[in-house]
Amino acid sequence: MPRQVPSQERRRWHGLLSNMGISFTDGIRHLGPPGLATQCMVLGSGAPITEDLLPPGDSPQKPVMGWTLPGLISIFLPEFPHRKFPGQDDFQILGFIAKGSFGPILKVKDRSKEKTYAVKVLPKSEILKHGVLEQSKEEVIIQRQVSHPFLHNLQDCWQTQRHLFIMCDYCSTGDLYTYWLLKGQFGEDEARVFAAELGCALGFLHDFGIMHRDVKFPVPPEPDHCNMLRKVRDCPYSMPKTFNPALALLLTELLCKNPAHRLRSLERFKRQTFFRGTSFDSQLLQKRPVELILELKNHPDRLAKAMRGLSMDYFQNFDCDILHSPTSPTDLSPTLANIDLSQTLATAQGLST
């Protein structure tokens, strides 16, 4: 079934993205339950999807319509081509990198290219449960069209019966959030480098008319813009007295509740006193070592923190034999190597589709 035609107002609002072949949908700007249009799109011929394809406690939306396997595949096309997870001759799963919003991020080696990649695994049941179908598709549409040193480059994406897979470059150093959990707080010199890198990436996206949905005020999201604006205006914020004047000024302008006066351009961001003497050249920033990261990279708790409570329950209905893919236990991360394989994923064998 063809997608619904966006309204005239939305076309004007996202005119730049339309010229680029990108059309933001309500899935990015409003994370509500799946709409009727989405439910209609999953109709088709074939056997109904049984409840064992969904996580414990979830079930298809029985009163509305029947879910079918062809429909569960077609709604993610053409952004996610349908194919089996690559076999052990092609891919070697080395372990887990971290836990994402909806599922794990795997460390995978492409045997033919002798390169390591990060593969984000998104259970379809979670995508539909949280109403982010269009958001998941827009993510790969956008990633295909942008390339920057401080953005993950998309290498491939596909779908199997139960999961979506998004394969990107692998960052061997780890992720910033895990280091934040280990450190507790960063010093100003460390924050200056990270802020410069984030500023470069966000400035690049803004030039394309793309707003990163995870960069927002520290308040929970609301279902509409009016309530969100009211909550932002009412949110109290006190500047820590330990901040130096340059950092306090930067945060004051970034967190300004009036959009007209808020610091929102990369050029103004670069001219802040806090960044005096800091280069925003991406090549130079990549060569600048951060001692904290070098120290925490070998922290004994880094892998456990990166897992963020990831449970092996994610793989009870996985579309391939995850834990038996590596050729030896030494290929696994330390956290993964200690798992009793005989009691984990017994039902996953032979489910590759």
Amino acid present at 102: F
Q: Tally the residues of the chain.
A: 353
In degrees, rounded to 5, the angle at the alpha carbon of residue 82 between the alpha carbons of residues 34 and 160 is 70
Catalytic residue among 214, 224, 234, 340: 214
Task: State how far the Cα of 222 lies from the Cα of 213, in Å rounded to an integer.
Answer: 13
Contact call for residues 182 and 302 (beta carbons, < 8 A): yes
User: Torsions phi, psi of 312, nearest 5?
Assistant: -70, -5
Say how many C-beta atoms besides its own lie within 10 A of residue 313's C-beta.
Answer: 11
- 120: tokens are 């984000």
Q: Give Cα separations from 272 to 197, 247, 276, 343 (angstroms).
A: 15, 9, 7, 55
Q: Of the candidates 334, 327, 353, 323, which has an alpha carbon nearest to the alpha carbon of residue 104?
A: 323
- Asked if 207 is an active-site residue, the reply is no
Burial of 5 (0-12, 13-18, 19+ CB in 10 A): exposed
User: Torsions phi, psi of 33, nearest 5?
Assistant: -70, 160
Contact call for residues 146 and 208 (beta carbons, < 8 A): yes
Active site residues: 214
